[in-house]
Amino acid sequence: MKPLVHKFRTQKNLYIYDTNTNNIIKTNNVIFDIIESYKSLKISELIKRLEDKYSEEEILKAYNEIELFHKREGMFRCKPLEKMIFPYSTDEIKEYLETDLEQLILNVTEECNLDCSYCIYSGRYLHHRRHSKRRMSLDIAKKALSFFFDRCSKKNFIHIGFYGGEPLLAKNLILDCVNFTAKACSNLNNKPAFSITTNGILLDEKTIGFLIKNDFSLLVSLDGPKQINDRYRITRNGKGTFDLVANNLKSIRKINEHYYQNRVGFSVVLVPPYNLNSVFDFFSEYNEIVCGNRTVIRGISPEENCFFKTFLPAHDPKDYENQIGQLAEEFILLKLNEKEGPGKLKVLNNFIGSSLLKIHSRQKQALPEFIFTNGCCLPGKNRLFVTTEGKFYPCEKIGESIVIGDIWSGFNHESIFSLIKEYIGLSEQNCIICWAVRLCTDCFASCSKGAALDKDMKKKNCLATRSHLDLLLRIYSEIMEKQPNAHFSV
């Protein structure tokens, strides 16, 4: 087996990321060229293969250096890890699900008042539900809230989110849920925080007042300037939504500037044909709508869908990678204070900051003989998603087919154990020989397809994850070359 390493380069230097020790090593050309053949080829074979490029003495010296680091530091591991395991035992899983829940997400309605072309619930995705008229009843909402409150006693901070469809179509139910929560939690030290993700169309003055009064974290869907947002974020009549949303945002800001600056953010979807600079520039400006607000930026779902076929038959997937690369170069310059633009630095940092922080704060120690399940959470603990009908799902990112319980019977532990086992079975063989395994954050959502996890979807996401991590390692190393004491944050 080849060593568990990944080679990459910056503009000035060559690097090896060593998986076993989690180290990033600056190296020379000879080591860079032979490291992947270490232990798989004899030294005589390496000399023969590279005789036109390096002298025998140079190759021997490089090989001996690799050997020294392998024996002394444990670098360049050449055997696979033994297995993948989940970080909690079955007893611990049951205990955490009874006492340690963190966030409840109520899908208060499946109805939406828009017809966004790329929406995962638009009917263009093969394994997801479509928008419908279904709404959560107050009885189901109360049962879900009570179930959650009874199982979060260990947490100092708990969170209740409202999801849709367009959740504000059920704003009376949301009001009832907030009032119920106030009474149910009156004796608790950990007062819940509320959040909502909305398309922004129904943000009238009364609704705004309610959200401000209850200190909601408000995430508004907006994909950039008018000409970009209105391509796909449209009403049922096919009209763009930018002006409607912008006017409502201005109203919030006029009513309470402090709330707007600190509690209002934007959910941004990057959709082809890409003009990423325009999107990032828009959210970097300070104007009537944007004032340094938090941005949550993501791409369109890679799941099987007919969006590209219907709207973008000539779409070039390489275009996205090229534009991301250009933004990465700009981020490096901004981070090193070589050019002005603190607003854009903040937006770009929102996009990749948490990933760079993970690299910067990584533990530099040898792996045991096993690995944990990538970025998988304990289903139901971190985010418990409740459907309009009262069923439990691991989170809002997984299609409504992987059921882990309901409000009447509670958690179905066997379903949770089965989901974890299925993920390990799908992932273990590839993950134990993958250089990216310590940095990877893929989870159940990265391979969910209908009522099961899918090997092909997992493989597709693995390729994308490795490509993204390669870019992040290059960005990180470029910054550290010029600013060794650089600070990274989210």
Q: How far apart are CA 15 and CA 29, in angstroms?
A: 10
Number of domains the chain contains: 2
Higher pLDDT, 129 or 478: 478
Decide if 188 is inside a domain. yes
Decide if 363 is inside a domain. no
- The answer on 128 and 66 residing in a single domain is no
What would the mean pLDDT of 104-127 be, rounded to a whole number? 88
Q: Is the pLDDT of residue 130 over 90?
A: no
CA atoms within 13 Å, Cβ hemisphere of 212: 19
Q: How far apart are CA 325 and CA 474, in angstroms?
A: 10
Query: Is residue 353 a contact partner of residue 489, using CB atoms and an 8 Å limit?
Result: yes
| Mean of all residue pLDDT scores within the chain | 91
What would the mean pLDDT of 385-403 be, rounded to a whole number? 88
Model pLDDT for residues 257-277, shown as the tens digit of each residue: 999 999 999 999 998 889 999
Query: Is residue 165 a contact partner of residue 387, using CB atoms and an 8 Å limit?
Result: no
pLDDT at 302: 59
Model pLDDT for residues 173-211, shown as the tens digit of each residue: 999 999 999 998 877 666 799 999 999 999 999 999 999
- The answer on 268 and 124 residing in a single domain is yes
Q: Is the pLDDT of residue 403 over 80?
A: yes
pLDDT at 306: 67
- The answer on 128 and 10 residing in a single domain is no
pLDDT at 94: 96
Query: Is residue 454 a contact partner of residue 399, using CB atoms and an 8 Å limit?
Result: no
pLDDT at 446: 86
Query: Is residue 252 a contact partner of residue 203, using CB atoms and an 8 Å limit?
Result: yes
Q: How far apart are CA 182 and CA 161, in angstroms?
A: 15
Confidence of residue 337 (pLDDT cuts 50, 70, 90): confident
pLDDT at 117: 86
- The answer on 141 and 38 residing in a single domain is no
Reduced to 3 states (helix: H, G, I; strand: E, B; else coil), residue 172 is: helix
Decide if 468 is inside a domain. no
Q: Is the pLDDT of residue 18 over 60?
A: yes
Strand partners, 16: 7, 25
Q: Is the pLDDT of residue 34 over 80?
A: yes
Q: How far apart are CA 123 and CA 306, in angstroms?
A: 9
- The answer on 244 and 160 residing in a single domain is yes
Query: Is residue 81 a contact partner of residue 371, using CB atoms and an 8 Å limit?
Result: yes
Q: Is the pLDDT of residue 123 over 90?
A: no
Decide if 475 is inside a domain. no
Choose the final residue of a domain: 22, 55, 78.
78
What would the mean pLDDT of 81-87 be, rounded to a whole number? 93
Strand partners, 220: 198, 266
Q: How far apart are CA 404 and CA 416, in angstroms?
A: 6
CA dihedral 215, 221, 223, 224 (to 10 degrees): -40
Confidence of residue 172 (pLDDT cuts 50, 70, 90): very high
- The answer on 253 and 199 residing in a single domain is yes
Q: Is the pLDDT of residue 414 over 90?
A: yes
Q: Is the pLDDT of residue 99 over 70?
A: yes
- The answer on 133 and 56 residing in a single domain is no
Q: Is the pLDDT of residue 21 over 60?
A: yes
- The answer on 186 and 271 residing in a single domain is yes
Choose the final residue of a domain: 36, 59, 78.
78
pLDDT at 439: 95
- The answer on 237 and 122 residing in a single domain is yes
Decide if 387 is inside a domain. no
Q: How far apart are CA 409 and CA 395, in angstroms?
A: 18
Query: Is residue 421 a contact partner of residue 427, using CB atoms and an 8 Å limit?
Result: no
Decide if 356 is inside a domain. no
Q: Which domain holds residue 152?
A: 110-315
- The answer on 213 and 74 residing in a single domain is no
Choose the final residue of a domain: 78, 98, 121.
78
Taking each helix axis as running N to C, give the angle between helix 455-482 and helix 413-431, from 0 to 180 degrees, rounded to the nearest 10: 60
pLDDT at 338: 52
- The answer on 68 and 169 residing in a single domain is no
Percent of the chain with pLDDT over 90: 70
What would the mean pLDDT of 327-353 be, rounded to a whole number? 82
Higher pLDDT, 310 or 32: 32
Structure tokens at 234: 């449209």
- The answer on 252 and 209 residing in a single domain is yes
From the list 411, 419, 407, 406, the residue with the least C-alpha distance to 451 is 419
Q: Is the pLDDT of residue 341 over 60?
A: no
Q: What is the CATH number of the domain that holds 202?
A: 3.20.20.70
Decide if 487 is inside a domain. no
Surface-to-core class of residue 237, CB atoms within 10 Å of its CB (0-12 exposed, 13-18 middle, 19+ buried): exposed
